[in-house]
Amino acid sequence: MKILITRKIPKSGIELLLKKGYELEINQQDRILSKNEIIDGLKEKDGLISLLTDNINKEVINSEPKLKMIANYAVGYNNIDINAATQKKIPVSNTPDVLTDTTAEMAWALLFSVSRRIVEGDNFTRKGKYKGWGPMLMLGQDISNKTLGIVGTGRIGSAFGLKSKGFKMNVLYFDEKINETLEKELNAKKVEKSELIKQSDFISIHLPLNKSTFHFIGTNELKNMKNNAILINTSRGPIIDEIALTKALKDKWIFGAGLDVYENEPNINPKLLNLNNVVIQPHSASATFQTRSNMAIIAAKNMIEGLTGKIPTNCVNKNIYK
Ligand code: GLV
Ligand code: GLV
């Protein structure tokens, strides 16, 4: 079996595939491949390990008749045309669970950074601007006893919520389903979107990107937030209207934002980059040595299951087996 891996991933996963005797073609350049390069690389391949930066559309999926398994090296899989894969009965897998805590930790890191102006304070101090303790210097926002609004309480949103325990927060959440764990552990309250927007001091987004979540947060929502509100996004950029957010931050409709993802990655609205009340990260919420290694293992295991005729453990289009 031959597999294309569109970028170097940790060796923990590579070793599993090699042990199986698979022939691997790994992009050796540290950059994102173009669509045509992926199509070229896919020739005669049985499997594809793709990244969230690869647009695996219908044309790519249909380009190689031998293709029988796609393992995405990410929990999100909005970069893959699942319908096109399903039509060809190609299973697609993702890497859930192993990155849940890691991603939730990044959401908290951003929440703390924005609340206490950590990046701004660090820059200020390094530049020699710190001339002594000041009663009004670098004032931020308290976290304990405030209202935390979680949008989307799947694996990551739930883990994020549970980590608030030490901060005695009033937890609200928005989701289609009741989250018994959050209700039991935190006394969390399931509310309508508008209520969460109006009442929360912190709003953290944990939704998958799809047609119904595109621009879930736009001008209206931002205008209805508290002006001390802090918005965190570690999910997918297009869930927030980035132009509206830039205006909201510039005109101080809200206190700040912490972002790991952007609407048109890797491009970021240049106006956003000039603002002090936003902390920006390079889509690195799952980026720890341990988690990236575990993601490689999960992707490899799913690939092996798919290529040996088993239903991949983390198959996202299981309906192909019906
Ligand atoms: C990262 O964004 C992922 O989906 O794994
Ligand atoms: C992501 O995988 C989630 O369920 O939050």
Whether residues 77 and 223 fall in one domain: no
Whether residues 116 and 200 fall in one domain: yes
Active site residue 183: no
pTM, 2 dp: 0.96
The active-site residue, picked from 7, 117, 206, 283, is 283
Give the pLDDT of residue 28. 95
Give the pLDDT of residue 167. 98
**Weakly modelled stretches of the chain, pLDDT under 70:** none
Give the pLDDT of residue 180. 98
Give the pLDDT of residue 74. 98
Whether residues 106 and 52 fall in one domain: no
**Nearest listed ligand to the Cα of residue 233:** 1
Whether residues 80 and 174 fall in one domain: no
CATH code of residue 295? 3.40.50.720
Q: Give how far Cα 136 sits from Cα of 66, 86, 119, 139, 201, Å.
A: 65, 58, 17, 6, 21
Q: Which two tokens stand for residue 193?
A: 């979107």
Count of domains observed in the chain: 2
Q: Is the CB of 206 under 6 A from ligand 2?
A: yes
Whether residues 253 and 198 fall in one domain: yes
Whether residues 80 and 40 fall in one domain: yes
The active-site residue, picked from 117, 206, 236, 292, is 236
CA of 130 to the centre of ligand 1 (A): 38
Active site residue 206: no
Tell me which residue has its CA closest to atom 5 in ligand 1.
74
Whether residues 181 and 216 fall in one domain: yes
Please, which residues bridge with residue 184 across strands? none
Q: Give how far Cα 1 sits from Cα of 87, 103, 276, Å.
A: 22, 33, 51
Give the pLDDT of residue 23. 98
- Which residues, 6+ apart, have CB-to-CB distance to 146 below 8 Å? 167, 169, 170, 201, 202
Whether residues 53 and 81 fall in one domain: yes
Whether residues 117 and 155 fall in one domain: yes
Whether residues 93 and 105 fall in one domain: no
Give the pLDDT of residue 30. 87
For residue 76, the ligand 1 atom closest to its alpha carbon is 4
Q: Is the CB of 156 under 6 A from ligand 2?
A: yes
Whether residues 61 and 188 fall in one domain: no
Tell me which residue has its CA closest to atom 3 in ligand 1.
74
**Nearest listed ligand to the Cα of residue 207:** 2
Owning domain of residue 168: 100-280
Active site residue 215: no
Q: Where are the alpha helices (DSSP H) in the chain?
A: 11-19, 35-42, 58-62, 82-87, 100-115, 118-126, 155-162, 180-186, 193-199, 219-224, 242-250, 270-273, 289-307
pLDDT digits (tens, 9 = 90+) for 25-43: 999 998 999 999 999 999 9
CA of 235 to the centre of ligand 1 (A): 7
Whether residues 94 and 48 fall in one domain: yes
